[in-house]
Amino acid sequence: MSVILRIRNLKKYFPTSKKGVFVKAVDGIDFDIYKEDVFALVGESGSGKSTTAYTVIGMYEPTEGKIEYKDLDISRIHWKRPIQLKKNIQIVFQDPGTSLNPSKTVSQILGAPLIIHKHLRGEKLREAIINALNMVELPSEYIYKLPRDIGGGEKQLVAIARALSAGPEFVILDEPTSALDVSIQAKIIRTLLKLKEELGLTYMFITHDLSLVRNISNRVAIMYLGKIVEQGPTSQIFAEPSHPYTQMLLSSIPVVTKAEEALKPKQVQSTGEIPSPVDVPPGCSFHTRCPLAWDTCRKIEPQPVELQPGRIVKCHLYSKHKATLSGAKL
């Protein structure tokens, strides 16, 4: 498998009004995304997953670390990137109501990337706009509509068509269904998965919805307070979650049948709320909420342990002694 995106020691800190104090939104993360993956980045609000996405797309410049796209360093901010790179990496934002220009028609919204990246004009441009609408199963008469004239789900389909009309290889999906009614969410996901197969796309899927992750992703990383605490194949993470935070998230997924309930891990009772990224606890940042924490957790940050190839966890429960006994690499 070829790596399409490689992240190493990525950090993004934001200054506060207090001198020398920073919001550590992303704090030293590593992961690889392989060609045609659906890689899910999961965590509660404030975990740093959207900041990671915006740093990858170039909206933010990293405080430290490296972002590589096909072995090309793309750590620079968006406006400094070559036009071909901007074409290859696109994003679909969470709220289509704010990501679409309210004063532009659908035709103008979809036409902009086609003009910039494919240099289309006249009848060829019009045909390409209609083809983009057809790709997301919207009728051609939508070219005359303004965003206010269409529903939330249709706005998001327009946003998806806009991202894909440039002809990208890699698409970041920043919670693309969370602002939509449940009735339209399934259609958006079906459309995204269909287009992935048809166009050979690679997705980085940002979400807090673990039920969705199980059904659409092949690999997943769990974020907490700017750090990745566990990552690996989705099937392995759901079958045998290792980190107490992952167990907490999975045990809280709502289910409707006893069979589904039996698949969930044992309930992990955490206490309190996620701490502020301005004042991250020392040691393991989850120790303030973890029922399994001990003195080491409060003092020393855990290092990543590879439980299986591609399956990594950062937790003192998997100390060098335990990892060696289980045959894991350190």
Q: What is the mean pLDDT of residues 288-302?
A: 92
- Quote the DSSP letter at residue 270: -
Query: Within a 13 Å sphere around the CA of 286, how many CA atoms are in the beta-carbon half?
Result: 30
Report pLDDT for 320. 54
For the chain, domains (ranges, CATH) are 3-325 (3.40.50.300)
Query: 326 falls in which pLDDT band (50, 70, 90)?
Result: very low
pLDDT per residue over 135-183, tens digit each? 999 999 999 999 999 999 999 999 999 999 989 999 999 999 887 888 8
Q: Write the CA distances from 136 to 196, 204, 251, 261, integer angstroms.
A: 12, 19, 35, 35
Q: Please count the other Cβ atoms lying within 10 Å of the Cβ belonging to residue 137.
A: 12
Task: Give me the pLDDT at residue 46, please.
Answer: 87
* Residues 318, 307: Cα–Cα separation, whole Å: 9
Residues 6+ away with beta carbon under 8 Å from 146? 102, 103, 104, 105, 106
pLDDT over threshold 90, residue 323: no
What sign for the dihedral angle of Cα 43, 47, 51, 56?
negative
Q: What is the mean pLDDT of residues 113-137?
A: 95
**What average pLDDT does the chain have?**
89
Q: Is residue 268 very low, low, confident or very high in pLDDT (cuts 50, 70, 90)?
A: low
Q: How confident is the model at residue 324 (pLDDT cuts 50, 70, 90)?
A: very low
Reply yes or no on whether the pLDDT at 20 is more than 70: yes
Among 81-90, 210-219, 315-324, the range scoring the smallest mean pLDDT is 315-324
Residue 3 Cα distances to 31, 32, 69, 202, 236, angstroms: 10, 6, 8, 11, 20
Banded pLDDT at 270 (limits 50, 70, 90): low
- Say what the pTM is: 0.90
* Residue 21, token pair as written in the block: 């104090």
Q: Which residues contact 118 (CB under 8 A, 6 or more apart)?
A: 128, 166, 167
Q: What's the pLDDT at 329?
A: 39
Kindly report, residue by residue over 22-80, the tens digit of the pLDDT: 999 999 999 999 999 999 999 988 899 999 999 999 999 999 999 999 989 998 776 67
Q: Given pLDDT bands bounded at 50, 70 and 90, which one contains residue 243?
A: very high
- Residue 327 — pLDDT band, cuts 50, 70, 90? very low
* 111 φ/ψ sector (left φ>0, alpha ψ -120 to 50, else beta): alpha
Q: What is the per-residue pLDDT for 164?
A: 96
Give the whole-number percent of the chain exceeding pLDDT 70.
90
User: Given pLDDT bands bounded at 50, 70 and 90, which one contains residue 83?
Assistant: confident
Using the predicted structure, report yes or no on whether residue 186 has a pLDDT greater than 50: yes
Predicted local confidence at residue 79, as pLDDT: 64
Q: What is the mean pLDDT of residues 117-141?
A: 95
Q: What is the pLDDT of residue 269?
A: 66
Are the CB atoms for 131 and 114 separated by under 8 Å?
Answer: no
* The predicted structure's pLDDT at residue 277: 87
